[in-house]
Structure formats: structure tokens, C-alpha cells
A = this chain, B = another copy of it.
Amino acid sequence: MVSRRCRIAVFFLIMFLAASNARKIKQYKPCKELVLYFHDVIYNGNNKDNATSAIVAAPHEANLTILAGHFHFGNIAVFDDPITLDNNFYSKPVGRAQGMYMYDSKKTFTAWLGFSFLLNSTHHQGSINFIGADPIMVKTRDISVVSGTGDFFMHRGIATIMTDAYEGEVYFRLRVDIKFYECW
């Protein structure tokens, strides 16, 4: 007969294992979370000194200083935007958001994003890489955090984006709530 204590030991072992192996199912709670803002000033022909992004591709008959008609369909913008901890454009940046967005619908404002956060502060050192669709008119939308380096080595997760402010077609500010679900 299996001794009672052996049974108890085996029971707790099974509980422990069940818990460990269920990791992926349970881990819908982020293992790390960051809220950051970034600020994009689009070059329009008259703001060379302030602009942080530029239209570099446009569809037939459009140009590179005015976002195209039809919901800017076909415009690609490259950016190097300051990242701040709060929603103030003049706060000390903690890093740069670098990459591109492309407007990819003729029927509504929507973009496809491929970019990185390069963080360089006392709190965070490393990069975070994002891709995904951004249906701009939706209040909050999710893109993918596909990996990272440094403090974010191999991390994966979801970034929830909100348009925190915008001014015509020159400025927008995004709030990015990054939730990592794989932290290493």
C-alpha cells in the first residue's frame, strides 16, 4: 500500500505541476506593464525644424507635403518621435519611437504600423518591437508586441493604443499601454 505521506507528497507534487504547466493559460495577467506616450509632428513643407515625421511615399497624383485624399490611402510616413512618461510634449523624453505607419484604407482612417520603442532612461534600457493594424477611429485598438531586446529581451505582449490628442493633420499623440504576457 502506498503510505499516506507518500500519497500526500505526490498530491502536492501534482498540484505544483498542474500549476506550472498551466502557466500559459493563467498568464492573461501581464507579467510587466508600461504606459508611455509618443508625439508625432508631420512635415507639411513649413515645419522643417519641428517635424518628427515625413511622408515618404504617396499614391499616384499625390505629393509628399500633403496627406493624400481618400483617408490618406497609400501614404507611408517614417518617424522618429519622442516618447514621454506623461502626455506633455515638453516633458523630458525617455526614448524614441522609430519606424513607419502607412495609411491603408480608402474607406476610413486606418494605418498599418511597424516601429520600435528605443528606451534609454534610468528605469528602462532596451527596445520593444511592434507591428499591427491601427484602426485609428476606434477608441482603443490593440497591436502586437512581437519581441524586444535589453530589458525586454524576447518579451511578447499586446499594446493598447489610444489617440490622446491630435491637431488637424500636423500633430498627434498616442498613449500606448504595453502589457507583456511573456517576460523571460
Contacts and interface: CB of A to CB of B under 8 A. Distances in A.
Interface of A: 1-3, 5-7, 9-10, 13-14, 16-17, 20-21, 23-25, 28, 43, 45, 54-60, 63-65, 73-76, 78-80, 96, 98-100, 102-107, 110, 112, 114-116, 118, 127, 129, 131-133, 135, 142-150, 153-154, 156-158, 181-182, 184
24 contacts: A2-B5, A3-B6, A10-B13, A17-B17, A45-B60, A54-B60, A56-B57, A56-B74, A73-B80, A74-B78, A78-B112, A80-B105, A96-B105, A98-B112, A114-B114, A114-B131, A129-B132, A129-B144, A129-B146, A131-B146, A132-B149, A144-B147, A149-B158, A154-B181
Contacts of A144: 129, 146-149
A80 B64 contact: no
A137 to B, nearest CB: 13
A25 to B, nearest CB: 7
Assembly stoichiometry (copies): 3
Contacts of A43: 59-60
Contacts of A102: 56, 78, 99-100
A1 B98 CA distance: 64
